[in-house]
Structures are given as structure tokens and as C-alpha cells.
Chain A
Amino acid sequence: MTEPIMQQLIISGVGGQGILFVTRLLAEAAIKKGLPVFTSETHGMAQRGGTVLSHFKVGDFSSPLIRPKQADGLLVLKAENIAVHKNFLKSNGWAIANGEHDGKQAAEIPVHNIDADSLAQEIGNPQAANLIVLGFALAKAGKIKAKQGKLFCTMTDIKSVLRNRFGKNKKMLEASLKALEAGYET
């Protein structure tokens, strides 16, 4: 028998980047796979351009929050957040960051960087950096070993969630899939 899936992810950025949307896609992917899911997010004033942080847990957890040094992975939509949010990461966890960051900030943790903002401009969808980062994460953290926190879901799972969400809105669906793939192929 395989071990039951227990995964904890931190997703962070600033207000307006679509952090909650990415969290939601991952959560819906978990539900589709029949896994219990728990997420926690920031609302209200903190959302107005301030730092936004999502905690995401799949598996048999009772608390909505992740403690320091417990996260398997880190998805950072604004690289500057690495400096603080790297503290959530396990010693062998993985990190994906949008944009360049100061090398010192990320000291001790290996970070996969992607320039999702430029890529989003290139594909003509400047708001889609969040999906590009998610696609990139699916590629990078989908290929590692289970022990190193292999992402619990795949590109196929997320695509199917997007199809469910935007079933009737072909234009939105295509734009979203395009952004997701742009990140995945990078």
C-alpha cells in the first residue's frame, strides 16, 4: 500500500495577482481526486495591494495553517516574498518563484525561477502570470520523487478543473490553458 497523500504548500504574492485563484484550482484538483483539502487565505484590507498568503493542505489535517519548516513546496508570485516565506519550507522542500530575487534572500533553498510577467505579456494576457507560474510548478514539481514532495496533482488534473470552471466560456478557457502551457513548457 502506498502512503496516504499529505502535502502542504504555501502560495504567496501581492493583492491582485490571483493567488486565491491558483489556490482554488489546486483545491478543486484535490477534491476531484477524492482527497480531503484545507486552505486558508487573506481577505479585506490586506488584499488591497498588500502581501497575500495562501496555506494549502491536502490529506488528513485538522488545522488550516502551515507551521514554519513544514511546507513541501512554495509557489511565489512575487520573488521578493522568498525572503520571508522560505521559512515555511522543509529542509528538502522545493520553491518556484516569479521574477528575479536577491540571491541572499533564497540562501540555502534551491529556487526555480521563471519570468512569468514577461511571458504573460508575450502571450498577450498580462493578468495570467499566476497560471504561468502554476504551469511551471506542475512541470518542475511534478517530476520529482514522492519523498521530495512531488506535487499531488498533474497538468491533466488542473486542465480538467479549468474545463469545469470555464466550460461555457471558451475564450477564458483557451486563454487559461494557453497560459498554463506556456509555464509548463518553459
Chain B
Amino acid sequence: MTERRLLLGNEAIARGLVENGCAVATSYPGTPASEILAAVASFQKENKLTMHTQWAINEKIAFEIAYAGCQTGLRTAVAMKQVGLIVASDPLMSAAYMGVKGGFIVISADDPGPISSQTEQDSRLMAMMARIPALDPDTPFQAKEMIALAYEISENFKTPVMLRPTTRVCHSRQDVALEKIMQLEREVKFEKDPSRWAATPRFRFHLHNEVEEKLAAIARHKPTEPVCLNPEVKSTRAIISSGVAAAHTKEILKELNLWQTIPFYQVLQPFPLHTDFIAHWIETYEEILVIEEPMAVIEMQLADRHRVQGKVSNTVPSVGELYPENIEEIIGKFTGKKTKKLAIPFAGGRRPTLCAGCPHRASFYAIKKAARGGIFTSDIGCYTLGLNLGAVDTVLCMGAAVSQASGFYHAHKNEEKRPDIVATIGDSTFFHAGIPALIDAVVQNVKFVLVILDNRTTAMTGSQPTPTSGVGAGGEPLETVDIAALVRGCGVKYCKESNPYNFKEFSARMKEAVKYSRETGPAVVISRYPCVIDLARKGEAAEPIPITITDDCDGCAYCIKQFECPALIYHDENEDEKYTTVDPILCIGCGVCLNVCPKGAIVIKED
């Protein structure tokens, strides 16, 4: 009997890769795609598979490594979040023209909502721009099935293929049947063909021709045709959907007793949309409703627009995740079926916050004190939450903490009074996109401080290793890169390392760095202490310092506003008696708050 295992959507995708003979898998972590590569590595270990799996330094590099693998005839894949695809878009555009030898899948996970991203961009539009097909799975089960389909199309038509799951597919779990793992044992052979692999613009014209021919053929490819899920139903109107929206729609149509009255089509390949299907609906139906997210990719490819309802016609909202209750309401309006308008009120809940004991909190507190009134540029990672402490003013994209600091400096440098500028960036993000920006800042002698928050991991996405970790995706030992040497190699003359838990020393270091940056040039402080979640997981957490708050606390709430540790609980139920206490369950005893209270009320608890 085949084993049925509870798999996260991302694990189902990983399983699909190993079942279909993927020999090279690469990724850079990013929610909601982070678990894919880790799961490939774990299936590799479990089944002793011969393959290469790796976390790359960024998505562009991950893409290029996996792409070269397919140029040798192997089946390969690269996984990332939608924002990462933009970083990898340079090789994506070009690889689409050059085509593939072995099958190559680009997995780009979208995040309608957005739940954990900067934007609600649609990777299917990137597929359209790059001129490659995109598949859109509705469940973990279908995501796994689509990997086989994607390799088949990729090798048949010699093109990269995109698999575009969304957060609800990536982060739902389903019981999925495990099938046999295929080891293809292909010959690894790179055949030189400079007119393709190193094509100059003149040859690119021919390659573009090929791409358009491939797309026209893929738009007639039977296995990925839209499927009518209730083919016996006849009507003048129909509903078309793809991805998780199709999964919601299917369930809702059944519950509203519409399954027998309204034809429902699921699109498996939103781009290129099948030519025959476009003709079919025009002949068969007077009006159709298209439900998809986050953008109107299927809808845009449908001709005869006045008969199409969707995002463009404002029938389906263009912003935010399509919850099943929204879809129920839209279907109700389209079919004339009465539905109750129901919604979970948006109540915000608790805002995310840096963990109790997080070393970033100590760094931010010291940064604020060292550069009062300064401009604080920051970046993508847990430390974005330095916002809560008022120590983060800007978050643009990966690596922009450094280049925006340069930008703010150049904008202010001819002014009489120039604010201090302190940029914060995590270790993983610094490697990803911070290094070129730092070299630029050195060359331009930008007067700012860069604090590299080196917690030895990619914490936000679930503790993936960084180039300083010395381990790979499967826990195998790897080489390491020394951040301080790298910073000095970029030409930075002031570079000091300090532990933010040694708060007094760290604060002094910050003040010194700010002074240096005012007078001389770029200064870098490497704030080094491991992520406390990681330490706890490894059983290496430091001995806790027991903390208590004395009667000297007058309820001024300075610690709550300025330090914002979730283990400090503020009591203001009674107007005359406000005070702070320590939550003994949340507090990990880092002891940094001993430096915070202006009244000296936070102290070590004596037995």
C-alpha cells in the first residue's frame, strides 16, 4: 500500500521534484516558499538520493546554478517567493529565449493578501513577460502532480516552466500519497552551442521566434487544457477559476447547490491560455465569471471583454486575498443565488514583535540612543520589526538599507545640518544584496553607520543557514565566509564586532561608530549574537538572568514604548495604579532590560 503522509504544500512540491528525477534543486528562503528546498534536502537524506541541493546567496544565483544544471541535460528546479523572482528576472528573461535541455522548473510562490510580503505581485505576469508557461496548482496534492506535468512540458517544448503556488497552497497540509522516487541516471553532458547558449542579438531574434512558436504549441497542449469539472451541466453562463480560488469555488458551488446548474472550469495553465478554450467559451456562453488571484491574468487573455466579469470589471476585488466568503458573495451575485454576507471582522489581533530576548532589540535600543534624531534605514527580515521600537524608518527591498542610506546622505550632504544615518541589515540579507551597495558607499565616501545584525541564521523564514553558518541545506559541512574580512575587503576602514548582550560595551561601540561616520566616512558595526529561537532549539540557550521589577516602578511605560519586549507586561487597568511586571513564561532572562528603566526599577531577582 502506498504511504499517505501529511505534507505541507511546499513538502508536496519537494516530493514531486524527487519523484520526477530532479537532480539539482536550489533556492533562497522567502515566505511562502521557504520550506521547499529544506524538504527536498530531507527527502534526499531519507532516500539517499544522488543530487545537489543548496541554499544560494540570492535568487538570481540560485536560478543560474539550477539553469546551468538543465543545460547539461539534468532535470533541475529553483524555488523562491514572488519578490525573489524579480531578483532572478534577469536570467529568467534570457533563459526563456535560450531554452533548456533537461527539464527546468521555476517555482515562484505568490502571496495574495499580502500575508508575508511587500507586494501582491503576480508571478504569472512574469511568466507572460518572460514568455514561458505557468501552471497554477489548487492544493498540495495538485502541486505535486503538476511537477510531473511541468517537467514533461519543459522537455517536450524545451522551455523553462513556472509552477506558481500561492500561500494557501504552500502553507496548507494535506494527506498525500507518496509515490516511487525516480532516479533518472542521465548522462551529464554540456553540448557546446554558442548560437544558443551565448547568443548575440542577431541570434536572439531567431530564439524569440522559436519562443513564440513554442508558446503557440503549448497553448494547444492537451494535458494542461482547462478542465470542466461538471461537464454534464448546460447553461448560458459559466465560472472559470484557477489555483486555490478554484478549490474554494468548487466547495462553495457544491454547498450552494449550484454544482448541477452552473458549468465550472478549472484552468491549470493560466499562461498561455489555451486557444481552443478561448474560442469555446465565446461560442458556448453568453457570460463568464473569472475568479483568480492576485491579478487578472486569465481574464486579460479572454477576448470579447464585455461578456467577461472579473477583476477588470470590478466584480472581483483586485486587492487582498480572495477568502472563500468573498468568493461565496461574488458567486451569489453572479448566479442570483441569495448568500449571507459574512466576514470575519478585521481585528488586527496582536502585532508581530521581536521575540523576548531577541538580540536585535538590544541593538536597536543602543542605535536609537547613539544617533538620536537620525535616519534609520532598514531591510527585509525579523529586524523590520525594529519599527515597533522606532528604530526603523524605511524598508524598501532586499539590500536597500545600505543604498538608501547612501541616497539619504547624498540628499543631505550639502545642507548645513546633516542627520546621522544608521542602516540595519541582517547577515543573510547583507550577503544577498548588501555587498554591492556597501562597495558603492565606500567609493562615494558615504558618511553613515551600517550595523550588520549577525544572528548567524536566516531567522524570519525558519532558520536557514547563511554563508557564515558552515552547513548546507541537508546539514552537511560547508566553507564559511567571514563578514568582517568581507567588509574590510569592500574597503571599509572602520569595522568592529560587538555583542549586543554586553549592552554597555555595545552602546559605547555604537557611539564611537556614529562619531566616526560624522567625521570620517562609512563605519560598520557587526552586532553578533545568535538568534534565541535557534539557540533554544539546539539546547544552547544561555543561563537566564532572573528579572524582577521593584516598587520603584511608577508606571511611566518608558520600557514598554522604548524597549517593547513582549515579556514586559504593562498594567493600566486602574488609572491610579499603573505598573509593569515581567511575564515569567515569555522572559528568557537575557538581562538587557536591566539597562533600560530610567527609575532603576528593573533589577536582578535575588533569592
Contact = CB atoms under 8 A, between A and B. Distances in A.
A143 interface: no
B566 A49 contact: yes
Contact of A61 (B116, B169, B251, B566): B251
B445 interface: no
- Report whether over half of chain B's contact residues are helix, strand or loop; otherwise say mixed: loop
A65 B31 contact: no
Contacts of B592: none
Interface stretch (B321-329, B415-423, B478-486): B321-329
Interface stretch (A80-88, A93-101, A134-142, A147-155): A80-88
Contact of B6 (A37, A62, A121): A37
A69 to B, nearest CB: 6
A67 B325 contact: yes
A51 B31 contact: no
**Max chain B C-beta neighbours (<10 A), residue from A47, A63, A81, A121:** A63
B349 A67 contact: no
B344 A49 contact: no
Nearest to B384: A45
Interface stretch (A23-31, A107-115, A175-183): A23-31
Contacts of B324: 63, 65-67
Given A43-B116, A44-B460, A67-B324, A84 B244 contact: no
B327 to A, nearest CB: 9
A132 to B, nearest CB: 13
Given A40-B171, A45-B384, A63 B251 contact: yes
B250 A50 contact: no
Given A43-B171, A50-B352, 4 more contacts: A14-B349, A43-B32, A44-B460, A62-B250
A38 interface: yes
Interface in B336-386: 340, 342-345, 347, 349-355, 382, 384-385
A67 B174 contact: no
Nearest to B4: A31
Chain A interface helix/strand/loop/mixed: mixed
A167 interface: no
B168 A64 contact: yes
B352 A46 contact: yes
Contacts of B32: 43-44
B175 interface: yes
Contact of B172 (A14, A39, A68, A88): A39
B173 A39 contact: yes
A24 B354 CA distance: 25
A72 interface: no
A24 B324 CA distance: 23
Contact of B175 (A16, A37, A45, A46): A37
A49 B565 CA distance: 11
Nearest to A126: B585
Q: Which of A39, A45, A50 gathers the greatest number of chain B CB atoms within 10 Å?
A: A45
Contact of B352 (A23, A31, A41, A45): A45
A117 to B, nearest CB: 7
Nearest to B35: A43
A41 B350 contact: no
B171 A41 contact: yes
Contacts of A39: 172-174
Contacts of A65: 168, 248, 323-324
Interface string B457-475: 0001110000000000000
B247 A48 contact: no
Listed from nearest, the 3 A-B pairs whose CB atoms lie closest are A51-B349, A44-B31, A44-B116
Given A48-B354, A67-B328, A68-B325, A40 B168 contact: yes
Contacts of B352: 15, 45-50
Residue in A14, A37, A65, A83 whose Cβ sees the most chain B Cβ within 10 Å = A65
Interface in A158-186: none
A18 interface: no
A48 B385 CA distance: 9
Contact of A31 (B34, B175, B248): B175
Contacts of B168: 40, 64-65
Interface of A: 14-16, 23-24, 27-28, 30-31, 36-51, 61-69, 81, 83-85, 87-88, 117, 121, 126
Contacts of A81: 349
A24 B353 CA distance: 25
B171 A67 contact: no
Contacts of A67: 252, 323-325, 328, 342
Given A28-B6, A31-B4, A31-B6, A50 B351 contact: yes
Contact of B31 (A24, A36, A43, A50): A43
Given A28-B6, A43-B116, A62-B251, A50 B175 contact: no
Contacts of B350: 14, 49-51
Most chain B CB atoms below 10 A, which of A62, A68, A84: A62
Given A63-B324, A65-B168, A68-B325, A27 B251 contact: no
A6 B354 CA distance: 38
Nearest to A88: B344
Name, among B4, B169, B325, B586, the residue most crowded by chain A CB atoms within 10 Å (CB to CB).
Answer: B325
B324 to A, nearest CB: 5
5 contacts: A30-B175, A67-B323, A68-B343, A85-B344, A121-B585
A45 B116 contact: yes
A46 B169 CA distance: 17
A66 B324 CA distance: 8
Given A44-B31, A48-B353, A62 B247 contact: yes
B319 interface: no
A44 B111 CA distance: 11
A95 B5 CA distance: 29
Contacts of A16: 355, 586
A117 B585 contact: yes
Nearest to A127: B585
Nearest to B168: A64
B59 interface: no
B174 A38 contact: yes
Contact of A68 (B6, B171, B342, B353): B342
B139 interface: yes
Nearest to B462: A43
